[in-house]
Structure 1
Amino acid sequence: MSNLKELSHRIKNIKSIQKTTKVMQLISAAKLKRSQQQLVNSRLHLSQISKTLLTLHLDLTGDEYEVTQKNSYLLIIISSDRGLCGNFNSSIIKLAKARINELYKNEEEIDIIVFGKKAYDVIKNQFKNIKKAFSCNKITFFYLEEIVSQIPGFYSYSKIEVLYNKFHNTFTQETVSQVILPLSNNSLFTDSNTNDSACYEYEGNKEFLLNFLTKNYIMSSLYSTLLESITSEHSARMIAMESANRNTKEMLNRLVLTYNRFRQAAITTDLIEVIGGVEALN
């Protein structure tokens, strides 16, 4: 009887876990659909602003951006605040460690900003110069502006690099490193399907416009990478919960089969004892 009670208790626990994972899967699926649409709009906006900025910079200087300052390197790492999303966080943490060690090996002096509790908890005691750590729970463009305003000299860095999970489709997310500044034609943010031959007419001070567009581009790039990461997180969690549902279903089937076998064996034993007692009385 003790085995039957234990099995019954385990079956109830697994059914409770299955309900939780199913709800989490549905929530992630709904969030994924919404964030995908935001990501499409963000990619289009960022592609246009990056090409406009490149065109203006080439018009003013005749060449692409060049790093003119030293010791002004900013590394931004984007993970998530929560787990239960497969290897989403472990892959970005692995890339971050390798990249930081590489920069230190090259004697680069870097500042580090971390979005997401998971990455921060791992690297906070391993590396120095972590300027800020932020949650990436509810990211909006205006909230991001508030965050940037808390970081002195954010726009003065000559090189900004972001490590994040890039979203391709529901089943594919890629851990990538993207240099935001200096901007170049081979940026991941530049859409090859847009018109490269666009011409622009500028009014007013071009240098002021260049400075304004540069800040807007940096903000848009950071916002877009955060959206890429958030969309990838929802996708990874949805897939992980779907896999968990399959595993709990298989486990339940095995436990129910075992439970029925034990129950049948107990019933058979009871019948044998009753029949044996009746025969003894006769």
Structure 2
Amino acid sequence: MKSLKELSLRIKNIKSIQKTTKIMQMVSAAKLLQSQKKLSCSKLYISKLYSIISSLMLSVDQKLLAEILNTGDDNSYLVFIIASDRGLCGNFNSSIVKSSQEHVNKLITSGKKVNIVFFGKKAFDISKNRFDSRSILKVENSKGITLKHVEALVDGIDLSKYNKVKVFHNKFYNTFTQKPILEIIKPWNKDTSLIDNSLVNPTIDYNYECEPQNTEFILRSLIQNYVTTALYSALLESAASENSARMVAMESANRNTKGILNKLALLYNRSRQAAITTDLIEVIGGAESL
């Protein structure tokens, strides 16, 4: 049995950990609210942009549209893997790394050229030995990301070299549910979870008229803007999922520390009582011997 001093020191350490996890839970809850607000605004913007692009596509010749969308070969891929810069958020990072690794390995096995951009140092640390180092193009921080930063990143990468651009991120469903998901942001993809379908109705809400010579230029520009916005929206989804996962993980840690403290307190009291009983027996024994 451990000594009273050892038990007392362990109880003190557990209480210190409990304070830390409680603070982290409160901070994550506050950040989650901020992330949800940003995500809501982003969904509104990207949904309206999606609707405008869909409306313009209806008025473009199909051959020209196929050229604009680059729906030909699919030999080269650019894959964004979005996770976290920190841990202590459950299986948030490991789940996205596992799902992306399986997909990327299948592409490489089938002879495709794949370049990877990581958002999140923690995800990179977990998976750097699981991917071919020659495939890793960049590693970026995921914390404090802004739309301007994403625009600069996209402008610095020649997207015309890639037939497909994909994004792996954790989708935020609710406080307790976040799941890894794959989004295709190039070429144009009608099935995407980044938009709010209730805000999209290109045939009714909008009726745009463009000068014939400018339609192609406008559509290309909007699609380029969509790629940037979709990547930023995926980052916001991931941020909301991360804060939610960390909040739940810290709440679970608080419950565990309470259980451990109760067991330690019971063990401490039993040990203390046993020590007192032993002292009493020794005193009584000594008195009787006199």
Task: Give the TM-score taking structure 1 as reference length.
Answer: 0.93
- CA gap of 1:12–1:274, structure 2 versus 1, over 3 A, is same
Task: Indicate the residue corresponding to 1:202 in structure 2.
Answer: 209
CA contact (8 A) 2:172 2:240 kept: yes
Task: Indicate the residue corresponding to 1:74 in structure 2.
Answer: 78
- CA gap of 1:185–1:33, structure 2 versus 1, over 3 A, is same
> Deviation of residue 187 (structure 1)?
2.1
Secondary structure in 1 matching 2:254: helix
Q: What does 1:135-146 align with in structure 2 at a 5 Å threshold?
A: 135-146=141-152
Percent of pairs with identical residues? 50
- 5+ residue gaps, structure 1, are none
Task: Indicate the residue corresponding to 1:211 in structure 2.
Answer: 220
Task: Indicate the residue corresponding to 2:167 in structure 1.
Answer: 162
> Deviation of residue 107 (structure 1)?
1.3
User: Are 1:233 and 2:242 matched, yes or no?
Assistant: yes
Q: 2:191 aligns with which of 186, 190, 195?
A: 186
User: Are 1:130 and 2:136 matched, yes or no?
Assistant: yes
Greater alpha carbon shift after TM alignment, 47-56 vs 86-95? 47-56
CA distance in 2 between counterparts of 1:209 and 1:101 reads 36
CA distance in 2 between counterparts of 1:230 and 1:101 reads 26
> Deviation of residue 72 (structure 1)?
3.2
Greater alpha carbon shift after TM alignment, 20-29 vs 272-281? 272-281
Q: Deviations over 1:59-110 (max 9, x none)?
A: 2133674522443321111111100000101100100110011111221112
User: Are 1:150 and 2:149 matched, yes or no?
Assistant: no
CA contact (8 A) 2:119 2:142 kept: yes
Task: Indicate the residue corresponding to 2:22 in structure 1.
Answer: 22
CA contact (8 A) 1:163 1:176 kept: yes
Greater alpha carbon shift after TM alignment, 160-169 vs 66-75? 66-75
Q: What does 1:79-118 align with in structure 2 at a 5 Å threshold?
A: 79-118=83-122
- CA gap of 1:124–1:227, structure 2 versus 1, over 3 A, is same
Q: Deviations over 1:141-198 (max 9, x none)?
A: 11222222333x0355331110110001001111111111122322223432125122
CA distance in 2 between counterparts of 1:155 and 1:142 reads 20
- CA gap of 1:195–1:143, structure 2 versus 1, over 3 A, is closer
> Deviation of residue 279 (structure 1)?
1.9
Task: Indicate the residue corresponding to 2:9 in structure 1.
Answer: 9
Secondary structure in 1 matching 2:181: strand
CA distance in 2 between counterparts of 1:70 and 1:22 reads 48
Q: Deviations over 1:6-63 (max 9, x none)?
A: 1011101100110110011000000001100110111111111112112212321336
Equivalent residues, number: 280
- CA gap of 1:68–1:112, structure 2 versus 1, over 3 A, is same
CA distance in 1 between counterparts of 2:136 and 2:2 reads 54
CA contact (8 A) 2:119 2:139 kept: yes
* Residue identity in the other structure for 1:96: S
Secondary structure in 2 matching 1:138: coil
CA contact (8 A) 1:67 1:182 kept: yes
- CA gap of 1:195–1:163, structure 2 versus 1, over 3 A, is closer
- 5+ residue gaps, structure 2, are none
Q: Deviations over 1:186-216 (max 9, x none)?
A: 2223432125122332345112211221121
User: Are 1:171 and 2:187 matched, yes or no?
Assistant: no
> Deviation of residue 247 (structure 1)?
0.2
Task: Give the TM-score taking structure 2 as reference length.
Answer: 0.91
- CA gap of 1:75–1:211, structure 2 versus 1, over 3 A, is same
Q: Deviations over 1:214-244 (max 9, x none)?
A: 1210111000000000110000000000000
- CA gap of 1:192–1:70, structure 2 versus 1, over 3 A, is closer
CA distance in 2 between counterparts of 1:224 and 1:77 reads 13
Task: Indicate the residue corresponding to 1:46 in structure 2.
Answer: 46
